[in-house]
Amino acid sequence: MGDTGVELGGPETESYSLILWTENSSLVNKDTISLIGPELAEAGSRSIAFGRIVILSIEGFTEENTFRRCREMEQMRFLLDLKGFMIRAVPQFQREWSRVSRDAISRGFSLGVLGSSLMRLFRELDYVTGSEIIFITENEDAIRKIRSLTGDTARIIAAMNKMAEEMSFDCSECEYRDVCDEAEDLRRMRDACVGNAARR
């Protein structure tokens, strides 16, 4: 691992990355960064489980723009330009693998620095009105628990991705049919996609 100080969410450990958004700004602890587990400098290993949950307050989302904006928010992490920090790969949906160099950690790089930089990027999006970030470095069990708590949300996002990417609207064959049946907003988004596809 060369100059690597800490590897976050590598392939041999648990990793979880999720962006949640709401139009109810009271649900977001604006400009708050929380950490469950040790900071990078106190990590007891060079490879640790890693979770990152971003909670955004947003405005102006419609059936037509939600997927595009969701993708835009997901891509913000790749705009990070922090010396000694590198996103290695995102091989699977809702995973993130990154590395922080020893030199960066010795110069004070922390998850607080990472979180603040992410928040600055999200502020550039005119539809984001506030952000909160939760990092989890405690252990693999903590990551698994967080993943199980947000499983329904993850399925909604996966259904939205499938709908937009595949442009397939055969609901009888879709593994996310139960999600759309329960999520009114997702049904409206699907109907908007069907209408757009028909006009092409």
- pTM for this entry: 0.80
What's the token pair of residue 121?
A: 């990027």
- pLDDT tens column, 51-108: 999 999 999 998 788 888 988 998 898 899 999 999 876 645 678 899 999 999 999 9
What's the token pair of residue 153?
A: 């949300």
**Torsion sign across C-alpha atoms 82, 30, 19, 52:** positive
Is residue 5 within 8 Å of 101, Cβ to Cβ?
yes
How much is the mean pLDDT over the chain? 83
Q: Where are the domains of the chain?
A: 4-149, 151-200
Instruction: Check residues 45 and 6 and name the one with the higher pLDDT.
Output: 6
Over 80: is that where the pLDDT of 183 sits?
no
Q: Please give the average per-residue pLDDT across 24-31, as a whole number.
A: 94
- pLDDT tens column, 8-22: 998 889 999 988 899
CATH of 4-149, one of 3.30.1650.10, 3.40.50.150, 3.90.550.10, 3.40.50.2000: 3.30.1650.10
Report how far residue 196's alpha carbon sits from residue 60's, in angstroms, rounded to the nearest whole number: 19
- pLDDT tens column, 117-151: 999 999 999 999 999 999 999 999 999 998 888 77
